[in-house]
Amino acid sequence: MSFLNFLDKRYYGASVTRWLMALAVLFSAYLLLTLLQRWMKHRVGKFAARTATTWDDLLVEIISRTRWYFLLVLSLEAAALLVPVNRRAAAALRAALVVASLLQAGVWGNGIIAFFSERYTRLKTSGDVASRATVYAIGYGARIALWGLLIVSGLGFFDVKITALLTGLGIGGVAVALAAQNVLGDLFAAVAIVLDRPFVVGDAIAIEGVEGDVEQIGLKTTRIRSVNGEQVVIANNDLLKSRIRNYGRIQQRRSAFHLDVAYDTPPDTVARIPEIIKEIVQRQPQTRFERAHFLSFGDSALRIEVVYFVTQHEFRKFADVQQDINLDILRRFAAEHISFAYPSRTVFLRGDTSTSIAERT
């Protein structure tokens, strides 16, 4: 048999020449797709390294996660165009394409979830171990949901009856949700805390009579080290239902107080008191004077109201500034001979002899 006759010989409805051409297309297509993947990864990677955007980094991740079996099935589809394929072979090839596509979609989905989880963890939860654990748990849940959806899609393609399975899973899911509704509520609350960030580990907060520093944000509970030293454990769901005071995010602290001076203080001296207070406050660093006024007549004193801000969020520094201001006020009032008032009461007795008794308490 000559070589030409061999090339013309037919196997499964196609000549040897056709089969050799299909084989060449298979290897060529696979090689071309592999080289194209590497070239795109290199070029897009170089471009992503020069920019600060997110989408080009995500594109590099997707290209890197393109698997060889997906490229091989695409090459088989291209080679199959050159030879006649019977119904059974076409069905097998189509099934292989569906399986490879679903697996590739799962790999891409995992990559996208991991990319955004790592990026959020790096930017938002740096140094917060509990928050990172919560983000990773959310990522695992998203992966489980993704693969569940892909498996159901694959079973539906292969004509597997999934109605009863879905019904059973639905009933089971409702039962589990009812049995674990408190746990799920705390879990979703943990997700809300991590994403919304009303507080982070290290913040000083106050809630329902508990005041202290946040030590850990878990999937079910948040642990707070109170100012008394004990650890207080609060369910995340209960935590979000309450009003939270976050002292860790104070930009400045407001100090408002009043000074009571005696009624026998001369009016000119009373008029100078707001300016004296203003000078004292403004001499202190990291303060912002708001106002000082002779505001009202008290029962036994002339009342001066003072308001200023300390541009430090730490309470210790705020207390140091307030102490220095109070000491300066005492020294200045002593130098100006301004007397502080104290509660007093004058009682008048009517009788044959008019007398008055000053009763001081």
- Can you tell me the distance from the alpha carbon of 210 to that of 140, in angstroms, rounded to the nearest whole number? 33
Residue 129 has pLDDT above 70, yes or no: no
Beta bridge partners of 340: 261
Backbone angles phi and psi of 128, in degrees to 5: -100, 95
Q: What string of DSSP letters covers 36-96?
A: HHHHHHHHHHHHHHH---SHHHHHHHHHHT--HHHHHHHHHHHHGGGS---HHHHHHHHHH
| 8 Å CB contact between 217 and 131 | yes
pLDDT tens track for 87-106: 788 888 888 888 999 999 99
pLDDT exceeding 90 applies to what percent of the chain?
Answer: 27
Q: Report the half-sphere exposure of 32 (CA within 13 A, side-chain side).
A: 9
Residue 179 vs residue 83, higher pLDDT: 83
Residue located via tokens 């569906």:
98
pLDDT of residue 360: 46
Residue 355 has pLDDT above 60, yes or no: no
Residue located via tokens 């996660």:
65
When the pLDDT of each residue in the chain is averaged and rounded to a whole number, the result is 81
pLDDT of residue 323: 94
Q: Report the half-sphere exposure of 179 (CA within 13 A, side-chain side).
A: 6
| 8 Å CB contact between 143 and 111 | no
Written as one letter, the residue type at 68 is W
Residue 294 has pLDDT above 90, yes or no: yes
Q: Which 8-state DSSP code applies to residue 285?
A: T
pLDDT of residue 280: 94
Residue 318 vs residue 6, higher pLDDT: 318
pLDDT tens track for 21-50: 888 888 999 999 999 999 998 888 888 778
pLDDT tens track for 192-202: 877 777 888 88
Most confident of 146-155, 235-244, 291-300: 291-300
Most confident of 87-101, 130-144, 344-358: 87-101
Q: Report the half-sphere exposure of 141 (CA within 13 A, side-chain side).
A: 11
| 8 Å CB contact between 217 and 201 | yes
Report pTM: 0.51
| 8 Å CB contact between 106 and 149 | no
Q: What is the CATH number of domain 197-249?
A: 2.30.30.60
3-state class of 336 per DSSP? coil
pLDDT of residue 188: 78
Q: What string of DSSP letters covers 102-159?
A: HHHHHHHHHHHHHHHHHHHHHHH-TT-HHHHHHHHHHHHHHHHHHHHHHHHHHHHHTT
Residue 181 vs residue 233, higher pLDDT: 233
Least confident of 40-54, 179-193, 250-264: 179-193
Q: What is the CATH number of domain 253-344?
A: 3.30.70.100
Q: What string of DSSP letters covers 172-228?
A: HHHHHHHHTHHHHHHHHHHHHHHHH-S--TT-EEEETTEEEEEEEE-SSEEEEEETT
- Can you tell me the distance from the alpha carbon of 340 to that of 265, in angstroms, rounded to the nearest whole number? 9
